[in-house]
Structure 1
Amino acid sequence: MQKRRHNPNLAKIHRNYTVEEVSSLYAVYKGTVRAWIKAGLPVLNDKRPMLILGSDLAAFHKARKTKNKQTCKPGEMYCVKCHAPKEPDGNMVDYETVTEKIGNLVAICPDCYSTMNRRVSLAKLDQVRGKMNITLPLPLQHIVESNRPSVNSDLNRSMAT
C-alpha cells in the first residue's frame, strides 16, 4: 500500500488539537495519529486528552515530506516503482513537448522496465542531459510539403487554376 502525503498547511499553527480532531482533519484513523505520536509527533503532556500543538503538527508533516525527497542528478530520472533516481536503460530518452517551453523526458527503468518521467524546461535540457541521448520530436510538416495532402483539402483544385 502506498503512503499518503499529508498537507502540513491544514493544521492551524495557533491551535491545539486532540487526537480525534487531528484524525478528522487529515481523514485518517485515530490509530494513525497515535502511530505518529510514537514516531515523534510531540504532545503537550501525557494526560488525557492528549493535546497536539498545531505548529508541531505542521512541522512534523513538513519534516516527513522533506525527509523522503530525492533529487535527480544530471543524467538521472526518478523511477516511481523502484522509489529511486536511476539512469535510464541504454541512456535512451524521448522528449515529449507539453508546451513550447516545457516538456517531459520519457525513458525505461533499467531494473523494473517501467516508464520513468521527468518534467524539464527546454532551456534547461542541457543541464539535465548528463549521459542521456535525448531524441527530440521532428517539427511538423506543412501541408504543402507533404507527399500526400489531406483528404479534405482543395489543394489539387487550387493548383490547377
Structure 2
Amino acid sequence: MNLRETDPLRWKHFSMPAQFDHPISLWSTLLDGRADGNLDLLYRWEPNSACPLHRHTCAVSSLVLEGELTVVDIDPETGKELGRVVKPAGTWVHKQPGDLHVEIGGPEGALVLFNLYTEDGLLLETLAADGRVIDRQTMEPILAAVARREAAGAGEGN
C-alpha cells in the first residue's frame, strides 16, 4: 500500500471549536488494529489546523510523510505552552505515554503515520482547554471495526 496515495482510503473527519488559536480539523483512517495491542493509523491535517488537546496513554511512534507537523507541549497544571517542535516530512519520533500536547499541521497541512502499542487497551485521553478529560479512546471499538471490515471483505487498508 502506498500511504501517500490516500484517495482510496476511508477517512473520518474530526472537527470541533478552536483550541490554542487553531481550528480543529483533521482526518483519520484505520490501517490496522490487532488484538496484541498494536494499532496503525494515518492522520491528515488541513493547513494550519490542529487536533484536540490530548495525552497518549500508550507508547506512540510517528512518521511525518508529507508537510510538517508542529507539536506543542502543554503544562497539565497551568494549561500554558511548555515548548514546540516542528517536524518536517521524514521526521520519525517514538514517545512513551504521558505528555500533554496539541499537534498543528503546517501551511500545507500534514500527513502522518502513527503506530501505537498498548498493553491494557487504553490509547489516549482528549482534554478540554481547562484540563478536564472529555473522552477516552480504547482498542475495543477499533478491534470491533477491524472485525467488521474483515467480515465484509473490505480488504487491506480500507
Tell whether the structures are fold-level matches, with TM greater than 0.5.
Answer: no
> Which structure has the larger Rg?
1
TM range (shorter): under 0.3
- Give the number of the structure whose residues are more often helix, by fraction: 1
TM-score (norm 2): 0.23
- Give the number of the structure whose residues are more often strand, by fraction: 2
TM-score (norm 1): 0.23
